[in-house]
C-alpha cells in the first residue's frame, strides 16, 4: 500500500472514531437530559400512565344516644368507575351495565363516548354489593370499583329532625350532622394503585390514611324518643292537625331527652321528602304562644311584690275594656285569686297583672325569660322570635302581650321558660349533645349545663302550686298522671294569616312538668291547626299525660303508691277554655304614649266594704275553698289557704272574735271529710289535719 493510501485509511479511521465519539457523546448528553435534567417530568408522566391516585373520604364519626346505642353510623359501599378509552365495545358494555344498575343505557353510552371522560368516568355511586358481584362477572376491561363511606341511620325516622342527614357529597345537610359537621367529618385519605397497560390494577399504595371523625354522645334517649314520636303522631292524627312538636327536657340541666316533629322523614332517604317535612319546627317556626305565656306576667308580678298567691283580683265578670277594645274571658269570672287566674287561664286576670307591671317592667320580664333571643341550643336554624321594643307598643299591647299575643316565640323558647318554674327559678340552656368523643370513647369536649337564676325559689314554688291547680281543677285536668303529681299550663292561640288572626285556625299546646315536688322532666306537646277540638287542654294535655307517665317509669322514677287518683271538683272544673281573644285584630305597632292605658288609681283588686271593726269567725270546716274565699271577702278578712278541696281546720278557731283585715289560715284536703269534721273537737281537728298532711293526701 502506498503512503498516500495509508494516510487515507488512517483518516477514515479517525473520522469513524470521531463519529463514534460524537454519537456516544450525544447519547450521553441525551441520557443526562432524560435521566437527570428531565427526570422528574418523565417520572411524573410515567406515574400518570402507570398509577391512578384517588382521595378516600374518612368515615364520619358515630352519633350515639345517651346509652351509647348507635343513631347514625357509616358503612363501606362500592362505587363503580370506568376508564372508557380502553373499553372495546362501549355500546355492549353500556347496555349490560345499565341493566344491572337500573340506569339509562343511552345516557351511559353518551358519557362513555365523551372525550373529556375517556380517562375517568364515575358510572354510579354507592351500589348494592349484589350489583358489584354481577358487574365483576361481566369481566369488562376498564371497569373497576372503589369503596366509599355511606351514612346509615339504623332507626330510620327516629329523632330525624335532631340528627339531620348527610348529602351525597358527604357533607352534613341538616340537624346535628350539619351543626357538628367539622367534628364528624375527620380527615380524608389519599391512595394510589398501579395499573398495567390494560389499566388493570395490581398494587395499592396508601399515600395518606384517612382519619375517622369524632363521635357524638347525645342526651337523647332512644326509648324516650320512641315514646315521644309515637304519641305525637297519634296526637296529630287524632286532632287532624297540620303538624306537631313534642320536646322532653331534663328539668334541672336543660338536656333534651327527646325532640320530635310531625310530619317526620327517613334520614336514609331524605331526598324523597319535601323541605317542609325535613324542617325542624321546634327551633325554626315562630308562633304566638297564647296562655302559656302568662307565666311571664305571673312570675314578674310575684317577683315585684305586686301580688301574693292568695290575693284576689276582680275579673269583672269576664271582660275588661282598654283603649276602646274589649278583652274577654271564655267564662264570666268574678273574683279570682292569683292561683285561680292561672288555673282557669283568665285573660282578664292576666291583663290586670300586666297593667300592674306597666310597660317597662313587663318588657324586661319578657327579655329576662329569654324571649327575643336564641336559647343557644346546639341545633342549626334556631331563630330568635319576635319581641318589639316598648316604643313600638300600642295602647293595647300590655293587655295583648299579657296573655300571649303580639309576641313571637319558638317551641324551644316557651319550653325553656316554663322549665324555669319546674327547676326552682333557673333559665337553662337546652342542649342535645352531651360529649364529643374520639374513636376510643375518650372525651374531647363536654357540654356542661348553663343556668341563670331569673326568679326566686319562692316565686317558682308559688307558680308551681298554681300550675298544679290547673292540672287538678283547671284547664289542664286531662294531663293529670296516675301515681305522680304534675303541673302545667294550657295554651290555645289563634294563628296569624296575612297579617290578621284567622278564625278557626289555632296553635294548641300544653307544657307541664312532673313529678312534684321535685320535677325530673318538662314536656311540651304542641299541635298546629287541629280540627274539631282545638283547646290545648283537650288535644295536647292527654298526650302530655301519656308521654310523662311512660317516661317517668323509663327513668325509673318510682310512683307514689299512696297517691290517690286525681279528684276533680265539678263546681269549679272547666269543660274547656279559650286562652285567646276570639277574632281579635292584631294591634299595629305604634309609638306608645308615656301614660299607662289604665291609670294607677283605677281599682283592679276587690274593694272590701268594712261594716264593723271586729267580726266573729264562722266555722269554715266542710266548706269548699271557693265558698270559704267568698265568705272571707264578705267578712273583710284575708284567707291564707293550704291545700285544696274542703276545709278541715282553721286558725283562729270558729267563734273567735278578730279585727277586720286580719288573716285566717284554713287547711283544705281532697278527702271527703265534710260529713264528720263538724263533730270533731278543736284538738282532734288539729291532729287530723296534721295526719292528712303527713300522709301526703293534701298537696
Q: Rounded to whole angstroms, how far apart are CA atoms 89 and 294?
A: 76
Q: Rounded to whole angstroms, how far apart are CA atoms 550 and 293?
A: 27
Q: Rounded to whole angstroms, how far apart are CA atoms 523 and 543?
A: 10
Which DSSP string corresponds to 353-422?
HHHHHHHHHHHHHHHHTTTTS----SSTT----B---GGG--TTHHHHHHTT-S-BB-HHHHHHHHHHHH
Nearest to 248 by CA among 260, 239, 237, 238: 260
Distances (CA, A) of 651 to 199, 632, 633: 99, 13, 17
Sequence-ordered strand ranges (E) for 498-624: 500-514, 521-528, 614-616
- The answer to whether 395 touches 359, Cβ cutoff 8 Å, is no
Question: Which three cell numbers, joined as nine digits, stand for 236?
Answer: 296529630
SS3 319: strand
State yes or no: is 291 an active-site residue: yes
Q: Rounded to whole angstroms, how far apart are CA atoms 315 and 162?
A: 43
Catalytic residue chosen out of the listed positions 94, 291, 400, 641: 291
Nearest to 539 by CA among 479, 470, 472: 479
Phi then psi for residue 518, to 5 deg, are: -125, 85
Name the DSSP class of 217.
E
Nearest to 282 by CA among 429, 420, 413, 422: 413
Distances (CA, A) of 205 to 262, 273, 489, 512: 48, 41, 64, 60
Name the DSSP class of 241.
-
Rounded (10°) CA dihedral 421, 426, 432, 433: -150
3-state secondary structure 592-638: CCCCCCCCCCCCCECCCCCCCCEEECCCCCCCEHHHHHHHHHHHCCE
* Sign for the pseudo-dihedral over CA of 585, 393, 535, 349: negative
How many helices (H) and strands (E) would you count in the chain?
A: 21, 28
Q: Rounded to whole angstroms, how far apart are CA atoms 647 and 667?
A: 6
Distances (CA, A) of 462 to 17, 368, 387, 485, 629: 116, 19, 26, 15, 18
β pairing state of 215-218 and 63-64: parallel
Q: Rounded to whole angstroms, how far apart are CA atoms 341 and 349?
A: 6
Locate cell 317509669: which residue?
Answer: 553
Name the DSSP class of 126.
S
**Sheet (strand 663-669) strand order:** 638-642, 663-669, 646-651
Nearest to 258 by CA among 285, 223, 287, 233: 223
> In sequence order, what are the beta bridge partners of 616?
657
The residues annotated with a catalytic role in the active site are 291
Amino acid at each position: 500500500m502506498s503512503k498516500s493510501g495509508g494516510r487515507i485509511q488512517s483518516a477514515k479511521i479517525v473520522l469513524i472514531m470521531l463519529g463514534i465519539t460524537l454519537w456516544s457523546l450525544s447519547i450521553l448528553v441525551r441520557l443526562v437530559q432524560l435521566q437527570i435534567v428531565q427526570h422528574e417530568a418523565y417520572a411524573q408522566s410515567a406515574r400518570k400512565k402507570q398509577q391512578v391516585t384517588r382521595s378516600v373520604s374518612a368515615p364520619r364519626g358515630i352519633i350515639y344516644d345517651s346509652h351509647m346505642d348507635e343513631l347514625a353510623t357509616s358503612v363501606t359501599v362500592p362505587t363503580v368507575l370506568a376508564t372508557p378509552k380502553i373499553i372495546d365495545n362501549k355500546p355492549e358494555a353500556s347496555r349490560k351495565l345499565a341493566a344491572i344498575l337500573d340506569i339509562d343505557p343511552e345516557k351511559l353510552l353518551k358519557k362513555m363516548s365523551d372525550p373529556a371522560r375517556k380517562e375517568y368516568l364515575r358510572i354510579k355511586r354507592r351500589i348494592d354489593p349484589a350489583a358489584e358481584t354481577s358487574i365483576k362477572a361481566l369481566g369488562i376491561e376498564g371497569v373497576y370499583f372503589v369503596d366509599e363511606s355511606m351514612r346509615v341511620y339504623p332507626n330510620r325516622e327516629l329523632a330525624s329532625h335532631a340528627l339531620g342527614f348527610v348529602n351525597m357529597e358527604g357533607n352534613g345537610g341538616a340537624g346535628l350532622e350539619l351543626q357538628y359537621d367539622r367534628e364528624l367529618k375527620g380527615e380524608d385519605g389519599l391512595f394510589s394503585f398501579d395499573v398495567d397497560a390494560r389499566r388493570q390494577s395490581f398494587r395499592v399504595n396508601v399515600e395518606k390514611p384517612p382519619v375517622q371523625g369524632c363521635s357524638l354522645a347525645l342526651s337523647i334517649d332512644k326509648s324516650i324518643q320512641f315514646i315521644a314520636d309515637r304519641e305525637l303522631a297519634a296526637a296529630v292524627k287524632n286532632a287532624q292537625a297540620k303538624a306537631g312538636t313534642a320536646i322532653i327536657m331534663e328539668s334541672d340541666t336543660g338536656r333534651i331527652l327527646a325532640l320530635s316533629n310531625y310530619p317526620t322523614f327517613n334520614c336514609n332517604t331524605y331526598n324523597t321528602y319535601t323541605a317542609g317535612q325535613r324542617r325542624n319546627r321546634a327551633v325554626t317556626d315562630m308562633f304566638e304562644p297564647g296562655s302559656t305565656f302568662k307565666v311571664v306576667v305571673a312570675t314578674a308580678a310575684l317577683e315585684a311584690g305586686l301580688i301574693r298567691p292568695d290575693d284576689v283580683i276582680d275579673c269583672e265578670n269576664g271582660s275588661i275594656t282598654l283603649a276602646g277594645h274589649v278583652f274577654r274571658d271564655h267564662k264570666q269570672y268574678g273574683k279570682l285569686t292569683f292561683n285561680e287566674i292561672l288555673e282557669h287561664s283568665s285573660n282578664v286576670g292576666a291583663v290586670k297583672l300586666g297593667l300592674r307591671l306597666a310597660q317597662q317592667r313587663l318588657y324586661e320580664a319578657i327579655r329576662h325569660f329569654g324571649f327575643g333571643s336564641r336559647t343557644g341550643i346546639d341545633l342549626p336554624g334556631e331563630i330568635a322570635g319576635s319581641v318589639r321594643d316598648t316604643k313600638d307598643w300600642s295602647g293595647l299591647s300590655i293587655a295583648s302581650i299579657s296573655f300571649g299575643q303580639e309576641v313571637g316565640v319558638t317551641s324551644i323558647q316557651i319550653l325553656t321558660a316554663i322549665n324555669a318554674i319546674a327547676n326552682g327559678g333557673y333559665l337553662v340552656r337546652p342542649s342535645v349533645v352531651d360529649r364529643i368523643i374520639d374513636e376510643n370513647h375518650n372525651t374531647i369536649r363536654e357540654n356542661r349545663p348553663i343556668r341563670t337564676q331569673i326568679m326566686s325559689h319562692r316565686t317558682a314554688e308559688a307558680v308551681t302550686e298554681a300550675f298544679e291547680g290547673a292540672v287538678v281543677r283547671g284547664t289542664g285536668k286531662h294531663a293529670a298522671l296516675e301515681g305522680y303529681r304534675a303541673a302545667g299550663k294550657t295554651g290555645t292561640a289563634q294563628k296569624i294569616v296575612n297579617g290578621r288572626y284567622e278564625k278557626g285556625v289555632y296553635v294548641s299546646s300544653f307544657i307541664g312538668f312532673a313529678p312534684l315536688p321535685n320535677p325530673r322532666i318538662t314536656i311540651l306537646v304542641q299541635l298546629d291547626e287541629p280540627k274539631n277540638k282545638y283547646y290545648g287542654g283537650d288535644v295536647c294535655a292527654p298526650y302530655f299525660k301519656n308521654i310523662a307517665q311512660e317516661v317517668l317509669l323509663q327513668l325509673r322514677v318510682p310512683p307514689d303508691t299512696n297517691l290517690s287518683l286525681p279528684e276533680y271538683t265539678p263546681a269549679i272544673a272547666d269543660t274547656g277554655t279559650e286562652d285567646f281573644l276570639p277574632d281579635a285584630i292584631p294591634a299595629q305597632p305604634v309609638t306608645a304614649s308615656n301614660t299607662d292605658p289604665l291609670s294607677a288609681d283605677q281599682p283592679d283588686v276587690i274593694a272590701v266594704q268594712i261594716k264593723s271593726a271586729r267580726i266573729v269567725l264562722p266555722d269554715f270546716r266542710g266548706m269548699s275553698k271557693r265558698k270559704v274565699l267568698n265568705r272571707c271577702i264578705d267578712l273583710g278578712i284575708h284567707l291564707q289557704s293550704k291545700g285544696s278541696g274542703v276545709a278541715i281546720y282553721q286558725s283562729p278557731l270558729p267563734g273567735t272574735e278578730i279585727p277586720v283585715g286580719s288573716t285566717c289560715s284554713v287547711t283544705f284536703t281532697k278527702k271527703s271529710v265534710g260529713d264528720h269534721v263538724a263533730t270533731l273537737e278543736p284538738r282532734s281537728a288539729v291532729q287530723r289535719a296534721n295526719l292528712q298532711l303527713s300522709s301526703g293526701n293534701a298537696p
